[in-house]
Amino acid sequence: MTRNGGGDGAGGTHDLVIAGGTVVSPQQGRFEADVAADDGRISRIASPGTLDGETVVDATDRYVFPGVIDPHVHHGLFRPLDAEADTESRSGLVGGVTTTGNIFRRGEPYTEIMDGYAATAEANYRHDYFFTLGLLYDEHVAEIPEIIADHGVTSFKWYGNYKLQAAERFDLDRNLLDDVADRFVQRLAGQETPTTLAYHAENAEITERLTAELQAAGADGYEAIVEKFPGYAEAQAAVAGANLARQHGYDDDFYVVHVSSRRTAADLAELQSLGYGVTAETCTHYLALTAEECDQRMRINPPVRSQADQDALWRHLREGTIDCVGTDHIANTRDEKLGEDIWDGLWGSPSSATMLPLVLSEGVREGRLSLERAAAVTSTNAAKAYDLYPKKGAIRVGSDADLVVVDPDETKPVTPDLLRSAADYAMYEGREVTGWPTHTVVRGRLAFDRGDVLADPGDGTHVDRPVAGR
């Protein structure tokens, strides 16, 4: 229930109060509390029933999580950013997402396009966001200090999958070979401002050869792309990339995206045991699907794999080898997505809005994760990895009042209408999922209320980094 409040006497009236919920904190565990927000930040955390506000959300018998941070989305990839910032942040709010990390890459110098790109984003996002920029060639490397200083962008991406494709795909003079990667790792390692390098781990020489062989053999069906992107090619590249970062003292800021293979997770665990500071992310589709269930809707790189891979990823997520969950969200329509066969059509699928519900339904309810670990992997750890913490990812006084109230017992079938994305299909369509947000709060403003998206385009804002209090 949401109501307009009165006053709490000597304590005053707050802008917003989440009342009587069970706060879930990776640091403090679980406790019942009222959480107040004023001027966009958490202002008080007090005993249940002691605070009042202009707006009061009754969270009795519900959990209060830090707002979900999806660190891995691709808004504006297949349609204009102004449209996708609007529709996909609308969808995210349904699932408790309060901040996204929009990863994009362009062949042009970023210093020439960022002002316009940022203005478009600022006018259309309903929740907060940050950018991660793909580094493709030497001019991008040279721009890094200016991008940090002028645009508050401190995270970048190394596309291992573009190693042999960058020149043709982006009209560049040469491909994205390891000497270019070596230069940008060194450049990032030399910055005074903390930075993050996200890495798509793929041995492109292996996957290019396998693609040619599979297509020549007439391979089709989902298993063909599983064979095209074998787990060992991901694992080998992850280890090599992490080691390059280690050579330049940068492994603490090295972030391997969308880990899909049990081999990769095992190798990263071994590196971490040797002192590597590498952070790993997996995605909800690797945790909730197996290849046998997949069709062209799940045409994703890397692909969904076996039950053994899924089981290993859950174990590594629980134990801490993998510290973050993202979605690799890409919005496309069914007509755009589906091709004549598995080799045709678009890559990527929409899924931000199901990130927290799936982690709760498949992780917490199935005994694979604790509630506290769920809060960590869907919010706090991404905030730390991308230098947003403690502004984001925390329920503590002074942090942004990004909060999500969850009914742990609410079960709904996944439908496109529920998710409110521009996409007209869902990977999990028809699946019964338990544990859905009832309310989403972004910087102290109620942005989603029991099915209604209240935030407007432009209510979100870019999170400049570094953040104060890091």
Same domain, 334 and 421: no
Coil, strand or helix: which one is 438? strand
Is residue 34, in this structure, part of any structural domain at all? yes
For residue 103, the enclosing domain spans 67-385
Same domain, 326 and 221: yes
Interatomic CA distance for residues 301 and 308, integer angstroms = 19
Is residue 444, in this structure, part of any structural domain at all? yes
Interatomic CA distance for residues 455 and 449, integer angstroms = 10
Is residue 462, in this structure, part of any structural domain at all? no
Same domain, 352 and 327: yes
Is residue 458, in this structure, part of any structural domain at all? no
Total structural domains in the chain? 2
CA-nearest of 388, 267, 392, 404 to 322 is 267
pLDDT tens digits, 367-393: 999 999 999 999 999 999 999 999 999
Is residue 460, in this structure, part of any structural domain at all? no
Is residue 393, in this structure, part of any structural domain at all? no
Same domain, 368 and 411: no
Is residue 470, in this structure, part of any structural domain at all? no
Same domain, 202 and 275: yes
Same domain, 276 and 371: yes
Same domain, 50 and 134: no
Same domain, 52 and 100: no
Same domain, 125 and 233: yes
Same domain, 189 and 79: yes
Residues near 104 by beta carbon (within 8 Å), at least 6 away in sequence:
74, 75, 76, 77, 117, 131, 132, 133, 134
Angle between helices 204-216 and 231-247 (to 10 degrees): 160
Is residue 469, in this structure, part of any structural domain at all? no
CATH at 93: 3.20.20.140
CATH at 21: 2.30.40.10
- What the block records as the tokens of 382 is 């991404």
pLDDT tens, per residue, the chain with 470 residues: 666 665 443 457 999 999 999 999 999 999 999 999 999 999 999 999 999 999 999 999 999 999 999 999 999 999 999 999 999 999 999 999 999 999 999 999 999 999 999 999 999 999 999 999 999 999 999 999 999 999 999 999 999 999 999 999 999 999 999 999 999 999 999 999 999 999 999 999 999 999 999 999 999 999 999 999 999 999 999 999 999 999 999 999 999 999 999 999 999 999 999 999 999 999 999 999 999 999 999 999 999 999 999 999 999 999 999 999 999 999 999 999 998 899 988 999 999 999 999 999 999 999 999 999 999 999 999 999 999 999 999 999 999 999 999 999 999 999 999 999 999 999 999 999 999 999 999 999 999 999 999 999 999 999 999 987 54
Same domain, 19 and 135: no
Sheet holding 279-283, edge to edge: 68-73, 97-104, 128-134, 155-159, 196-200, 254-256, 279-283, 324-326
Same domain, 262 and 378: yes
Q: What is the pTM of this model?
A: 0.97
